[in-house]
Amino acid sequence: MTTDPADKPRNETEHERLDRQFVELLQGFRVAVTGVQVLFAFLLIVPFSTHFEKVEGPGTTLFYIALFGAAFASICFIAPVFHHRILFRLGQKPLLIRRANMFGIIGALALMASMTASTTLIVQAVSREAGWTILTAVILLLLCAYVWFVQPYLTRLKASRPKRPKRPRAS
């Protein structure tokens, strides 16, 4: 029989808990920011490629969404580090954690837009068929939305419901 982790509270002070939560947030950001940096770097060099002048209309719009989404995601994922540096030793750790969480969610939305737009732009350039382009955008948006937001939200709802005692099975 396994024990519910909620039934075994951590033996940590409030200060230790806040430190742990902040470190966990920053660790998650390290993963996200690496992907954002690679995407952003790629998008920064795209206009200098030989065939970029062929991108027009919706392709240009997709490029700008991808570029600014990656820039905005970078800003959001990096912001908590500078907040921490500026507010260092002022007793603002709970505020820093709330802000870092908010920046992480907003950054993920920007990254979702950037990834979807850049991948859709590439599919548009390769296939030239509107159907594949639209299908790519829809699939990526739905996949990111579900995996990054809907699934954890559903888990959060389930975890916040009062637990019903288990009924003994009839033998």
pLDDT tens per residue, range 67-95: 999 999 999 999 998 998 998 888 888 89
**Of the candidates 96, 77, 84, which has an alpha carbon nearest to the alpha carbon of residue 18?**
96
Asked if the structure places residue 1 within a domain, the reply is no
Asked if the structure places residue 5 within a domain, the reply is no
Instruction: Tell whether pTM > 0.85.
Output: no
Query: For residue 104, what are the domain limits?
Result: 14-160
**pLDDT on residue 15:** 86
**Residue 97 in contact with residue 56, Cβ under 8 Å?**
no
Q: What is the count of structural domains for the chain?
A: 1
Asked if the structure places residue 131 within a domain, the reply is yes
Asked if the structure places residue 166 within a domain, the reply is no
- Please tell me which residue, 130 or 53, carries the higher pLDDT value: 130
Asked if the structure places residue 155 within a domain, the reply is yes
Percent of the chain surpassing pLDDT 70: 93
Average pLDDT of 149-167? 86
Is it the case that residue 107 has pLDDT exceeding 60?
A: yes
Is it the case that residue 1 has pLDDT exceeding 50?
A: no
Alpha-carbon dihedral sign for residues 61, 63, 65, 68:
negative
Is it the case that residue 135 has pLDDT exceeding 60?
A: yes
Q: Which residues of 92-111 are buried (b: 16+ CB within 10 A; e: fewer)?
A: ebeebbebbeebbebbbbbb
